[in-house]
Amino acid sequence: MADDLGRRTTRHAVVIGGSLAGLLAARVLAEHAERVTVVERDRLPEGPGARPGVPQGRHLHVLIEGGQRALDELLPGFMDELRELGAPKVGMPEDMVQWQNGAWYRRTAAAVHFYSGPRPQLEWLVRRRVLADPRIELVEGTETVALTGDSSRVRGVRLRERGAGAGGETRTLAADLVVDASGRSTKASDWLAGIGAEAPHEETLDTGLAYATRVYRDPSGGTDTDAIGYYIVPNPAQVYGGVVLPLGDGRHLVTLSGLRGDEPPVEEGAFEEYAKRLPHPMISDWLARAEPESPVYGFRKTANVRRRYDRPGRRPAGFLATGDALCAFNPIYGQGMAVAALGAVALRRALADPRRTPTTRVVQRALLDASRQAWDISAGADRKMPGATGDAARSGTLDRAADWYLGRVLQRVAGDPVVGRPFRSAIALTGPLTALFAPPVARAVLFGPPVETPSGPPLWREA
């Protein structure tokens, strides 16, 4: 069979991993394959419950606008359904009290919006929509242990019941295409080595950031402010972060973050005490009047990792990587769910592109390109944090020039909507980073003084 992944030449596709990236990839592949099998290690809950395969699922997740648009393109009407479930809509900068780089942000009209409902709720909604397609089958409680085929082409996967152990019986599932959506802990390097192929080079950047999260209820009902949430953003000079955001049912998620060697604790009482390290008592004061409704959950795996399947190497046709298995970001930037959806849109467009044959290499490059801006944002910010390690932590001459310019951007974002609008669109993955260099923005950045910002927490929106 020729290395052509589209145009109905793929009879059977296997997707490894049933999280967002895997489900959305299956949705797209069903438009080209006769059948699609999603292989998932977990037994998935019937409703919107947490599951072990998403260890960060109990932590804060936001769906930024780039992801909203992509999900509506892949699953028409999706955002209407999410809103009907009560997911809170948060406008930036209007709805948040935010401190960053020593300044309080003006609460001007919202330039972008995100949704802050629980991750399991959104994942369940995607799962329900995708698995309603009769061409897509879910195999649960099953591990992928190897690829079949050779270094020129993948022919399928070897599977084993989860919990059976290394000596457990395996079975082979033949496939014309295998998509790795197994997340940042992917075993693809071992799988590829097992058929004589080469693993991709991994770019890494790790700040050692760790965070901890707890659910609270605010009995005051927020009568002292019209803000929906609070956000203290870390930077190289001030490494502690904190955020309070609504879940949509009267509860709030509170996340505190710090760097290696000074991680936020998960013990009762110590979590609230750690909040006092933030540069302003705003979040600590909120915690003092709130009622905890969950244990404290910690998370430590926050390195940025990008697997460069686009670079030369002995790799087989019929194997693709997507989602965190391709490019995983520091979760603090809230990009993961959006990039999973944008990757599926890129997959759809690459497979249907009439101008070029959708070979494995062409499609894999499209998937990587879909994550490029998010990587530039996440890695670009983390590279400047103290103690950052990894080969992507090094800065070149062009990086230093861009950092100087973006430093001036950040000095003006808090107060100047001319700079703030394109900046927030870029962060939301709806506008390009190049918009920050457009003439009106460049004039404000290079020649205009920073606009005055509030002297204290702006508890009420600007009129």
Number of domains within the chain:
3
Give phi and psi for 282, each to the nearest 5.
-50, -50
Asked if the structure places residue 387 within a domain, the reply is: no
Mark residue 134 as left, alpha or beta (left: phi above 0; alpha: psi -120 to 50; beta: remaining). Answer: alpha
What count of Cα atoms within 13 Å lies in the side-chain half-sphere of residue 440? 9
Residue 82, token pair as written in the block: 């999410």
Residues 197 and 134 both lie in one domain: yes
Q: What is the pLDDT of residue 2?
A: 52
Domain final residue pick, 380, 411, 436: 380
Q: What is the pLDDT of residue 7?
A: 52
Residues 194 and 322 both lie in one domain: yes
Domain that holds residue 274: 209-299
Q: What is the pLDDT of residue 391?
A: 92
Q: What is the pLDDT of residue 251?
A: 94
Whether residue 23 has pLDDT greater than 80: yes
Q: What is the pLDDT of residue 399?
A: 82
DSSP of 179-234? EE---TT--HHHHHHHTTPPPPEEEEEB---EEEEEEEE-TTTTTT---SEEEE--
Tell me: the pLDDT tens digits for 375-408? Answer: 999 999 999 999 999 999 888 788 888 899 999 9
Percentage, residues of the chain above pLDDT 70: 97
Tell me: the pLDDT tens digits for 231-256? Answer: 999 999 999 999 999 998 889 999 99
Residues 26 and 41 both lie in one domain: yes
Domain final residue pick, 269, 299, 329: 299
The pTM of the full predicted model, rounded to 2 decimals, is 0.95
pLDDT band at 268 (very low <50, low <70, confident <90, very high): confident
Residues 151 and 285 both lie in one domain: no
Asked if the structure places residue 105 within a domain, the reply is: no
Whether residue 8 has pLDDT greater than 60: no
pLDDT band at 1 (very low <50, low <70, confident <90, very high): very low
Asked if the structure places residue 183 within a domain, the reply is: yes
Residue 138, token pair as written in the block: 């879910």
Residues 285 and 319 both lie in one domain: no
Question: Among positive and negative, which fits the CA dihedral 271, 277, 278, 281?
Answer: positive
Domain final residue pick, 299, 327, 350: 299
Cβ(299)–Cβ(56) below 8 Å:
yes
Residues 223 and 288 both lie in one domain: yes
Asked if the structure places residue 94 within a domain, the reply is: no
Residues 428 and 293 both lie in one domain: no
Cβ(14)–Cβ(37) below 8 Å:
yes
Asked if the structure places residue 5 within a domain, the reply is: no
Strands 297-299 and 210-217: antiparallel
SS3 call for 389: strand
Q: How far apart are CA 208 and CA 210, in angstroms?
A: 6
Mean pLDDT of 412-421: 96
Asked if the structure places residue 71 within a domain, the reply is: no
Question: Which amino acid is residue 122, in one-letter code?
Answer: L
Tell me, what CATH number does 154's domain have?
3.50.50.60
Asked if the structure places residue 353 within a domain, the reply is: yes
Asked if the structure places residue 442 within a domain, the reply is: yes
Whether residue 430 has pLDDT greater than 50: yes
